[in-house]
Amino acid sequence: MTLEEQLMDDVRSGRADVERGLLIVSSCCTEKNIADYKAKLDELERNFKSYASARNIHGEIETGKALLDFIWQKEGSRYKKDMNSLAECVDAQLSELKRIGNCSGLSFLYAAIGLRHGLKLNALYNFEHVLLRQVSGNETRDIETTSRNG
């Protein structure tokens, strides 16, 4: 059974792991490749935890805002038209590259780290664009990951 077939079985049975699914559709084609990228996401999670801690960030909405700031902390535009996979964006975020992804890739990166921090996120998609919606209690916030101001 391929990783894609296994992912679809997991989706049908309700056992799907979003992060794993995003890595599989990002062309991670072996368990080792998935494990390698999960380790890279662990590093980004640690980096974000330090970033948020240094800024005394608490609460879901504040964490969501800080995560976008963390992704955009390098100067200049982070948008890159043809970079749409989680794996590409993880590599770019860990490198010195300034431009790291398009609306899909940046949303996947935000979601992967945000879900690890307990953020409640929904993806909004209209065939041309992807953005995220964060829900915390009665508060809702749309997140435009291709913009520094969200």
pLDDT digits (tens, 9 = 90+) for 50-103: 999 999 999 999 999 999 999 988 767 777 888 888 999 999 889 877 788 888
Q: Between the CA atoms of 104, 108, 111 and 113, what dihedral angle is there, to the nearest 10 degrees?
A: -140
pTM given for the model: 0.91
Residue 35 pLDDT class (50, 70, 90 cuts)? very high
Residue 31 has, within 13 A of its CA and on its CB side, a CA count of: 3
CA distance 75 to 82: 20
Give the mean model confidence (pLDDT) for residues 43-52: 96
DSSP H helical ranges for 1-144? 3-13, 18-24, 31-54, 60-71, 86-94, 103-116
- 10 Å CB burial of residue 28 (0-12, 13-18, 19+) is buried
pLDDT tens sequence across 106-142: 999 999 999 999 999 999 999 889 999 999 999 999 9
Identify the pLDDT of residue 150: 75
Give the mean model confidence (pLDDT) for residues 1-16: 91
Identify the pLDDT of residue 66: 96
Identify the pLDDT of residue 84: 84
Sign (positive or negative) of CA dihedral 29, 33, 39, 41: negative
CA distance 49 to 18: 20
